[in-house]
Amino acid sequence: MRKLRITLFLLLGLNSKLFSQEAAENRLRKSEIEQVFLAHNLTLMAQRFQMQQAEAAVLQAKLWPNPTISISEVNLWKNPSSESFPALIGNYGKYQQVAIELEQTIEMAGKRKKRIQLQLLEKENARLQFEELLRNLKYDLRSQCLELQILQEKERLYGNQVNIFQTLAQSYQNQWKEGNVSEMDYLRIQSESIAFGNKLNEIQQEKIIKMNEVARYLGDKGTALTISDTIGIPHFLPGKKQEWKMMALDNRSDYKIIHNELKKSDAQLKIEKAERIPDLQISMNYDRGGNIMRDFIGLGVAMDLPLFNRNQGNIKIAKLEMEKNKVEIEQFRIDIEREIDFLSERLNNLETSLKTTDMGFDGKLDVALERYVRNFQQRRLTIVEFIDFINNYMENKESILERRAKYLQYKEELVYLIGKDIVS
């Protein structure tokens, strides 16, 4: 019997340990979630294939055009006018005629090198597109994680109120049955407990939806997640608008893409100008029995005469594309700087609002809550006074939480605008 108890104790302890490990595995820091995202997001995996395709396109552009071989003038029978030739194989071929031509295209004006340069720019474009996709997905993931954090904080906040009012409701029910409190007071406490419970349930439902949205970014590793980071007093950023603007122009992948488009249009213009010069077609011919020579070998050169079509239209299109890209670059620069100015003002305004609130006010509210609960339980406060404080407490706690979260969201927007993480 004693051995059985020990065995059950060990099994229960082991199960408890496994359960706690399983629960711990679902609690991740935001940095850990981001690592899982980088390793397992399927959209990023698909984009990496496009980068490999761009590398293959560069390889293809480096290849020379294949030579062309043609065989013609092959007679399948002879007629009375046929001449006799030496046999080709055994007795076969005494009356056989055949013509063979080998032709090779030689591109002029460095067209091949110019196409390689264009494909290298396409490869760079694929890399920048990957960076832009990563920038957007990271911003979306961080925003979703922040929203999940807010819901977790609200769940803790309302969960605490539910526990308080459930305890009070149970106490007041017992007191009401004993005739020490009125039914009205008991029902008022019970209704507050139910109201907080309903609100908590709404938050938990929103949290489940948000957990699923976060898990979508994690590929096959997406599970029910709890973010272990809490929303505390934010680290305020020093105002460095000009530095942020320079960082954005240096790091923004979409801004680099537009610059790369300008380089591509310049490379395309060079190709179009090179197309004015026709390519050479060099050929070598062999003709058996079709000329004054029995075995004729000759050379040939062919090229178009650029009399009418000198690629004027495509050259003009490429020039206009360059001018358009220059205008887009300037407009993009103006947009980036304006967005950073606007966001910087919002950050400064919210920082001022947060600093006007005593940094210890959040903790003081929690201390006051404990005191008010204790005083209410000791009948030193009326229900109206207690509930009025609770409403004020919840309003202030949610306001502090939302302002802190908003500041963190603005910081993420700034990171997104700059294209690089900021060290606070």
Instruction: Give the model confidence (pLDDT) of 132-142 as tens digits.
Output: 999 999 999 99
86 occurs within a structural domain: no
Out of 17-31, 88-102, 162-176, pick the least confident.
17-31
Long-range contacts of 388-396 (CB under 8 A, 24+ apart): 390/161, 390/192, 393/365, 393/368, 393/369, 394/157, 394/161, 396/361, 396/365
Q: Are 88 and 52 in contact (CB under 8 A)?
A: no
Tally of domains in the chain: 1
27 occurs within a structural domain: yes
pLDDT of residue 25: 46
Range of the domain at 130: 1-65+113-229
How many Å apart are CA 98 and CA 74, to the nearest integer? 5
Residues 6+ apart with CB under 8 A from 101: 69, 70, 72, 283, 284, 285, 286
277 occurs within a structural domain: no
pLDDT of residue 14: 31
- Kindly report, residue by residue over 368-385, the tens digit of the pLDDT: 999 999 998 888 888 999
- Kindly report, residue by residue over 327-366, the tens digit of the pLDDT: 999 999 999 999 999 999 999 999 988 888 767 788 899 9
Neighbours of 76 (CB within 10 A): 5
Q: Which residue has the tokens 């071989």?
A: 69
221 occurs within a structural domain: yes
CATH number for the domain harbouring residue 50: 1.20.1600.10
Out of 18-32, 89-103, 180-194, pick the least confident.
18-32
Could you tell me the pTM of the whole model? Answer: 0.82
Give the pLDDT band of residue 221 (cuts 50, 70, 90). low
Tokens at residue 397, please? 């706690």
353 occurs within a structural domain: no
Residues 6+ apart with CB under 8 A from 392: none
SS3 state at 381: coil
Tokens at residue 123, please? 């490869």
- For the chain, the farthest-separated pair of C-alpha atoms sits apart, in whole angstroms, at 136
Mean pLDDT calculated for residue range 10-14: 34
Percent of the chain with pLDDT over 70: 92
24 occurs within a structural domain: yes
400 occurs within a structural domain: no
164 occurs within a structural domain: yes
pLDDT of residue 69: 95
